[in-house]
Amino acid sequence: MIPAKIQGIRSLKNLGKLMTLGLLGWLVLALAGSAVQAYSGHYYVTPNSAPLRECAAPECEVLLTAYRGEKVEVLERNNTGWSRVRFVDRSGIGWIPSGLLTVSPGTAPKPVPTYYVNISSLHLRDGPSPNSNPLTTLHFNDPVEMLGVDASGWAQVRDLRSNQMGWVPPRNLSSAPVSQPKSPRRRAPARKAPKEEAAPPPKAM
């Protein structure tokens, strides 16, 4: 049998190990908490536009779009380079790549020009082509933000009602509201080439 004195020493050693492990665990949690606090604070979006997603992956659903210079609060960061943020000046929470955020606002973002639909109805499409799928329908004098024009001549815009982005022909937009909708441009029918008149048969001698 093991003497009681030796059993007591072993119990004290085990208790010491448990206390050491507990202390180490507490230190790890404390350091993790301080690391999270270091990430908290206000940041600014650097690209012209960036999607806020439902989870921290590029294939996750897009919830909102953040724009250059917008102020966000970082709620947490993960080890894959994503940050969960909350808008400061409007409602919305989502995930964004941490590399798209900066601690300094830098220069003020350029104002995005507002244009207005100048026809009765206009499809907002998911690509710069009349064959692209329609996302929604814009109506006369609906305001949109002009984000740019691509090489094909189509304009990328953001619908200010739904915050949805898409493509429209620039000719269907005006820089100010208009009093009445313009008629949609239609292609003129192709002109038929005039028929050549048959030459008269030669007269018999």
Do residues 126 and 135 touch, judged by C-beta distance below 8 A? yes
Q: Between 130 and 203, whose confidence is greater? A: 130
Q: What is the spatial distance between Cα 201 and Cα 205, in angstroms, rounded to a whole number?
A: 12
Q: What Rg value do the Cα atoms of the chain yield, rounded? A: 33
Instruction: Give the pLDDT confidence score for residue 94 in this predicted structure.
Output: 95
pLDDT in tens, 76-125: 999 888 999 999 988 899 999 888 888 877 655 556 789 999 999 999 99
3-state secondary structure the chain: CCCHHHHHHHHHHHHHHHHHHHHHHHHHHHHHHHHHHHHCEEEEECCCEEEEECCCCCCCCEEEEEECCCEEEEEEECCCCEEEEEECCCCCEEEEEHHHEECCCCCCCCCCCEEEECCCEEEEECCCCCCCCEEEEEECCCEEEEEEECCCCCEEEEECCCCCEEEECHHHEECCCCCCCCCCCCCCCCCCCCCCCCCCCCCCC
The answer on pLDDT for 199 being more than 80 is no
Q: What is the spatial distance between Cα 86 and Cα 94, in angstroms, rounded to a whole number?
A: 7
Instruction: Give the pLDDT confidence score for residue 191 in this predicted structure.
Output: 60
Instruction: Give the pLDDT confidence score for residue 32 in this predicted structure.
Output: 46
Query: pTM to 2 decimals?
Result: 0.44
* Among 45, 148, 50, 39, residue whose Cα is nearest residue 106: 45
Q: Between 7 and 53, whose confidence is greater? A: 53
pLDDT in tens, 167-185: 999 999 999 999 999 886 6
Confidence of residue 10 (pLDDT cuts 50, 70, 90): low
pLDDT in tens, 37-78: 345 588 999 888 888 999 998 888 888 888 888 999 999 999
Instruction: Give the pLDDT confidence score for residue 87 in this predicted structure.
Output: 93
Do residues 85 and 94 touch, judged by C-beta distance below 8 A? yes
- The vertex-164 CA angle with 162 and 167, nearest 5°, equals 130
Q: Which sign does the torsion angle of CA 96, 98, 104, 108 carry?
A: negative
For domain 114-174, which CATH number applies: 3.40.50.300, 3.30.950.10, 2.60.120.10, 2.30.30.40? 2.30.30.40
CATH no. for 41-102: 2.30.30.40
Ranking 28-37, 56-65, 136-145 by mean pLDDT, the lowest is 28-37
The answer on pLDDT for 200 being more than 70 is no
Confidence of residue 34 (pLDDT cuts 50, 70, 90): very low
Q: Between 166 and 12, whose confidence is greater? A: 166
Domain locations in the chain? 1-39, 41-102, 114-174
Ranking 156-160, 189-193, 201-205 by mean pLDDT, the lowest is 189-193
The answer on pLDDT for 148 being more than 50 is yes
Same fold, 41-102 and 114-174: yes
